[in-house]
Amino acid sequence: MKTTTITATIAALFAQLAFAAPVDNLDARAFDEMERRAASAPVERGFTETTVEERASNWVTNGPAPPMAMDVASTWATLARYQSCVRAGYAWSCADCNLLGGSSKNTVLMTGGDDGATPVHYVVNNGSHLIIGIRGTNSNDPASLANDVNFVLVTPSETYYPGIKAAGGMVHAGFYGATTRVAASLAPTVQAAVQGGTTNVIVLGHSLGGAVGQMLGVYLTSLLGSSATVYVRTFAPARVGNPAWADYVDATMGERSQHMVNFNDPVPHLPPLAWGFRHSGNEVFLDKLGSLDPLVCSGQENSHCADKYEEPLNWLASIVQYVDSEVHMGPYVGVTLRGNC
Ligand SMILES: *[C@@H]1O[C@H](CO)[C@@H](O)[C@H](O)[C@H]1NC(C)=O
């Protein structure tokens, strides 16, 4: 297939996927069930990382994925809701956001982006954590789509990623460009809030915004240094860079960077492995639609997790087959992401 045809096909694919029709019936019961299960979980730990020790003892590299601890899974559901509320700066009053305590509990420190070349984003202080949300592609805007299809690999700046040249790390040019714009927009707010004493930072993102979220989280990790702890929790991210980039992310952030993939969603399989892209480790996989029991996947590109749906030799056909916008929007442990919340 000619590159131009592939480009056009991918653009069409993203256009179909990006802003799917919002789901009207938020599955509040599933979210409640998550909270109920978490409340009856034996240990209450709040926001924590899963650790290797918490995983099954017979865990082997790239082996079958054990389920995540329930309270950690419940935190993912809460974070999905924050991701769903990225438009909070414009409409914090929507139902999903009120379930997070609305404006009485959360302070929106800034909003930015234009839904075009720069994805819409916000920074919220929930009383103990800074939560950064980054929206996905706006398929109505050519500048937003251009971010997706500019999949040339480039070496990002040493200023953002110390040592990246020597490591050989390269990233998707379009996602990188979007990251630098989002970073310039929100970094001053984040730095001021960290200096003010809020030292836990959680970077969220969905789809294109998930790819941007990972790059932003790694950047903030070096920018903020020892003054803050940065976590990345993304939903359905596209692949960000080459294998050396994936290793750089794992070396810099380890389990503080995790990405959730819903069942057979095609977007996390873009761009394909065969084009030299690779996900970092710490995938969290929902093995069926509506699952409330996320699995913790070891290694990078674990063949027992989302890669079950990757068909390297016929990836485009497999993706087209699995195009289902509802899968891309969720539900993520009971929470469906809603573009216009
Ligand atoms: C802020 O959000 C994090 C992540 O969901 C949570 O662990 C923490 O308890 C929240 N802080 C407050 C004050 O509710």
- For the stretch 92-118, pLDDT in tens is 767 777 788 888 899 999 999 998 899
Q: What is the rounded distance in angstroms from the CA atom of residue 61 to the CA atom of residue 39?
A: 31
Are 329 and 24 within 8 A, CB to CB?
no
For residue 96, the Cα-to-chain-centroid distance in whole angstroms is 19
User: Which residues line the pocket of ligand 1, CB cutoff 6 A?
Assistant: 46-47, 75, 78-79, 126-129
Q: Where are the alpha helices (DSSP H) in 254-324?
A: 315-322
Torsion (CA) 320, 141, 280, 243 in degrees, nearest 10:
80
- For the stretch 235-273, pLDDT in tens is 999 999 999 999 999 999 999 999 999 998 888 988 888
Could you tell me the distance, in angstroms and rounded to a whole number, from the CA of residue 126 to the centre of ligand 1? 6
Whole-structure pTM over 0.75, yes or no?
Answer: yes
Could you tell me the distance, in angstroms and rounded to a whole number, from the CA of residue 129 to the centre of ligand 1? 6
> φ and ψ at 190, to 5 degrees?
-65, -45
CA distances from 174 to 120, 185, 204, 339 (A): 15, 17, 19, 21
Kindly state the tokens that stand for 205. Answer: 């993102």
> Which has the closest alpha carbon to 212: 126, 146, 137?
137
Could you tell me the distance, in angstroms and rounded to a whole number, from the CA of residue 95 to the centre of ligand 1? 19
Ligand 1: which residue has its CA nearest to atom 9?
A: 46
Domains of the chain as residue ranges with CATH: 3-50+59-329 (3.40.50.1820)
Binned at pLDDT 50, 70 and 90, residue 33 comes out as confident
108 CB-contact burial (10 Å; exposed 0-12 / middle 13-18 / buried 19+)? middle
Are 172 and 271 within 8 A, CB to CB?
yes
The closest-lying atom of ligand 1 relative to the alpha carbon of residue 46 is 7
